Amino acid sequence: MRRKIVAGNWKMNKNVIDAQKLMTELRDYKNNNTTNCEVWIAPPAMYLMMAKDIFEKDEIGVFSQDMSEFESGAYTGELSADMLESIDATGSLIGHSERRQYHGENDESCNKKVKLALDKGLIPVYCNGETLEQRKAGQHLDVVKTQTETALFTLSAEEIKKVVIAYEPVWAIGTGETASPEQAQEIHAHIRGIIAQKYGQEVADEVSILYGGSVKPDNAKEIFSQPDIDGGLIGGAALKIEDFSKIIEGFN
């Protein structure tokens, strides 16, 4: 059975007091409610250790928003897979579109990061998705295919099963515009099909593929009910317990 996941990407939001408050609310919510999915968060890097302290029973997965493609050394400002492993983090987001847009991330560097994360026992959440121009030009299926192949297809079958993919159309991130459940399902099935062609259906059926892009309490249930959608990567709506918990309940 594929894992079902709701993951919150906090991006560059919240000071330490507000971060501690939301983590505590989340922990209490998780401990007092039955959830039908795993709950993960990716807070800013400086709050990762605080998250590990607050979620002391590992009831919520703790992810960084990015990690370096290098093992260690003179890379100012970077965070290594080794550091994440040493605090017992769950994994890292890799290739988020904002990292691609503002920090020159590409699928070649994602490939290195995914491999490094796996080598350290971390779960890579590999993000991909087309821009609005690419969708308008009818290139979305090809774009996502190339991204997936470049970033992931050097992995073994055992390795790719451990990767979580987040399909996030760039035009739907933080814009309030959401892919329709049918549009998202089409791409998710397409990604699973590409993986099946290379690794076989059994392997492809084990890879969790999340949808990201303006998921909100009122559209989560319908999106998550699609056969190839295994949960969501949530930005803005992960910043308030009321919204995030309702999205988690999209699996109830």
List the one residue from 91, 124, 236, 250 that touches ligand PEP (CB under 6 A).
236
Please give the Cα distance from 14 to 169 (Å, whole number): 25
Long-range contacts of 64-67 (CB under 8 A, 24+ apart): 64/89, 64/91, 64/92, 64/93, 65/9, 65/10, 65/11, 65/92, 65/93, 65/96, 65/99, 66/92, 66/93, 66/94, 66/96, 66/99, 66/103, 66/105, 67/92, 67/94, 67/113, 67/116, 67/117, 67/122
For residue 174, say whether it is annotated as part of any ligand binding site: yes
List the one residue from 6, 9, 26, 194 that touches ligand PEP (CB under 6 A).
9
Q: Is 250 in the site for ligand PEP (CB under 6 A)?
A: no
Residue range at the interface with ligand PEP (CB under 6 A); choices 23-31, 74-82, 128-136, 211-219: 211-219
The residues near 240 (Cβ < 8 Å, ≥ 6 apart) are: 22
Q: Residues binding ligand PEP: what is the number (CB under 6 A)?
A: 13
96 catalytic per annotation: yes
For residue 10, say whether it is annotated as part of any ligand binding site: yes
Least distance (Å) from ligand PEP to the CB of residue 117? 18
Contact string (CB under 6 A) for ligand PEP, positions 144-183, x = contact: ------------------------x----xx---------
Residue range at the interface with ligand PEP (CB under 6 A); choices 75-83, 105-113, 183-191, 228-236: 228-236
Q: Is 214 in the site for ligand PEP (CB under 6 A)?
A: yes
Tell me if 147 sits within 8 A of 128, measured CB to CB: yes
Please give the Cα distance from 119 to 77 (Å, whole number): 22
188 catalytic per annotation: no
Toward ligand PEP, which CB reaches closer, 117 or 173?
173
In the set 38, 69, 96, 105, the catalytic residue is 96
Nearest to 159 by CA among 110, 123, 205: 123
Q: Is 235 in the site for ligand PEP (CB under 6 A)?
A: yes
For residue 171, say whether it is annotated as part of any ligand binding site: no
* Secondary structure (3-state) at 232: strand
In the set 69, 98, 105, 168, the catalytic residue is 168
How deeply is 10 buried, as exposed, middle or buried, from its count of CB atoms within 10 A (0-12, 13-18, 19+)? buried
For residue 13, say whether it is annotated as part of any ligand binding site: no
The amino acid sitting at 6 is: V
| Active-site residue set | 96, 168
Interacting residues toward ligand PEP by CB under 6 A:
9, 168, 173-174, 212-215, 233-237
- Binding-site annotation: residue ranges for substrate: 9-11, 174, 214, 235-236
